[in-house]
Amino acid sequence: MSGNLTLLDDTLARAKAEDRAALIAYLPAGFPTVDGGIEAVKAVFEGGADIVEVGLPHSDPVLDGPVIQTADDIALKGGVRIADVLRTVREAHAATGKPVLVMTYWNPVDRYGVERFTAELAEAGGAGCILPDLPVQEAGVWREHAEKHGLGTVFVVAPSSRDERLATITAAGSGFVYAASLMGVTGTRESVGASAENLVGRTRATTDLPVCVGLGVSNAVQAKEVAAFADGVIVGSAFVKLMLDAPDHTAGLTAVRELAAELAEGVRRTS
């Protein structure tokens, strides 16, 4: 193991040693602009995020709800390219020294070239990739190149995943396991619910990797609820919505920084 996967592992281990969950934020690259997106990633780190997932905007995001779709549309209309995603990773990591992953659907990586993408992501200081629509049984080429460049491969598990399927997925992954707490698309929810806790328990039975929960967390109360049973709390739509709703970019940065600080309190279980 080399590269920034070690940084990711160490960050998650440190959170565990502090008896808390890690706070993982998601923001799409190129939103509202490439430079603005880089500032937003830095802002959530400043607020207290441990890890950031940088989204590679996609025209047909099957997992993403309307908030992230809207942001992706803005980024795509602005002409965002993979080079901009890699620049976002590079500048955010260089400025903070913290782990930055890319979350992407498989098609853009496949078109760009797996060897080229993994080499450039590693060179940019990326810790790895979350690949929500890449089936494990088709991930051999990706994993080979990711491992060569010291990148983590994070797979997504869902409440519908059977136990034997969970074991197959977790055996192939590295960094952490992304547990989608609800069936359906991303977005903030009133309650994250018992299905997430059940899924974390079933996933933990198959792996020593940290299990981090995403889809639905939007405030400190929910973050605390999830932190009671998960190794990491993943928040995306709530940050993106603040950026969309802000009267101007500076206000948006302030809002996401403040939300990150509130969530960082929430994931500290004893607070």
Task: Decide: helix, strand or coil at residue 236.
Answer: coil
Q: Rounded CA gap, 194 and 17, in Å? A: 25
CATH of region 4-267, choose from 3.30.530.20, 3.30.420.40, 3.20.20.70, 2.60.120.260: 3.20.20.70
Which of the residues 39, 50, 64, 84 is marked catalytic?
64
Residue 181 in tokens? 């707490």
Mean pLDDT (whole number) for 38-45? 98
* Window from 10-24, 167-181, 183-197, 254-268 with minimum mean pLDDT: 183-197
| Cβ atoms 7, 35 nearer than 8 A | no
| Cβ atoms 202, 163 nearer than 8 A | yes
Q: Is 72 a catalytic residue?
A: no
Q: Rounded CA gap, 268 and 271, in Å? A: 6
pLDDT for residue 184 is more than 70:
no
Domain residue ranges of the chain, discontinuous segments joined by +: 4-267
pTM: 0.94
Mean pLDDT (whole number) for 163-190? 80
| Cβ atoms 216, 181 nearer than 8 A | yes
Confidence label for 216 from pLDDT (cuts 50, 70 and 90): confident
Q: Is 147 a catalytic residue?
A: no
Which of the residues 50, 53, 84, 91 is marked catalytic?
53
pLDDT for residue 183 is more than 60:
no
